[in-house]
Amino acid sequence: MLVKSEPFHIQAYKQIQKNLLENVYSPGENLTETSLATQLGVSRGPVREAIRLLIHEGLLVQKGVHIYVYDPTFEDAEDVYLCREKMEPFGAGLAALNSTDSGKKELVEILDNTELALKNGASNSEIAKLNSAFHKHIVLSSNNKQLIQIMQLILGKSSYTRNVLLGDYTRKDAFTKEHADIVDAIIKGDQEQAEKTMKLHIERDFLKWKEIFTERKANKN
């Protein structure tokens, strides 16, 4: 049930988006305004507007009068990572120039929490959430409104695609060291190094992603 703290269509959008990112709905599943409105306890109007926003984000797909949950392929994931490879290093470089002291402190806290979570044997889904928080924070720290708007769409789609194709898998071998290198560059205000370390991190992440996906696909055949 939604409460009147912000417009109902925004609340509906956030809840449906959350459900999509957490795999509450199955890829390719047909969703209707009526069923979603019943689930959320609102009228169909706010849900209709929320669906429009999620179609724009690419998490829902309209075919004729029907609405389906986005069902990504590996090629879709590759396209998303190619965008991240070009845009996130730029964002990291801007974060090195524009991040505030409080922003840098929060980034270090996310890194520390991630390392602690790994040490304590936290679930893959918890590690994935901390990883997403890390990347989102750097984008926000760029202080570039246009980049933030674009990257919110790309990071959301990246998380969804990863969840669908790899479940709650997360790369634990070296990503915290890579994160630490990125944080170090941002704290020092080294734009070039921040861009370089972020680009390397995205490239390594996708290579591992591709390896795991290929292995799982082969095992199914």
Q: What are the extents of the domains in the chain?
A: 8-69, 74-220
CA distances in angstroms from 113 to 1, 118, 129, 157, 178, listed in the order given: 32, 9, 11, 24, 15
Q: Residue 172: what pLDDT?
A: 66
Question: In this structure, are residues 2 and 15 in contact, taking their beta carbons and an 8 Å threshold?
Answer: yes
Predicted local distance difference test score (pLDDT) of residue 215: 76
Task: Give one word for 8, left, alpha or beta, with left for phi > 0 and alpha for psi -120 to 50.
Answer: alpha
Q: Tokens 């861009």 sit at which residue?
A: 195
Round to the nearest angstrom and report the end-to-end CA distance of the chain: 43
Distance (Å, rounded) from C-alpha 54 to C-alpha 153?
Answer: 10
Distance CA 36, CA 24 (A): 12
How many angstroms separate the CA atoms of 14 and 57, rounded? 12
Specify the CATH architecture of the domain 74-220. Answer: Up-down Bundle (1.20)
So what's the pLDDT on residue 162?
A: 82
Among all chains, which residue has been given the structure tokens 């392929």? 73
* Rounded Cα gap, residues 84 and 151, in angstroms: 8
What CATH number does domain 8-69 carry, 3.40.50.1950, 1.10.10.10, 3.40.640.10, 3.30.450.40? 1.10.10.10
Predicted confidence at residue 167, as pLDDT, reads 67
Whole-number pLDDT of residue 121? 87
Listed as ranges, residues in the chain with pLDDT below 50 are none
Instruction: Tell me the H-state helices in the chain.
Output: 8-21, 33-40, 44-57, 74-98, 101-119, 124-141, 145-166, 175-188, 191-220
- How far is it, in rounded angstroms, from Cα 20 to Cα 53? 13
pTM: 0.83
Residue 31, SS3 per DSSP? strand
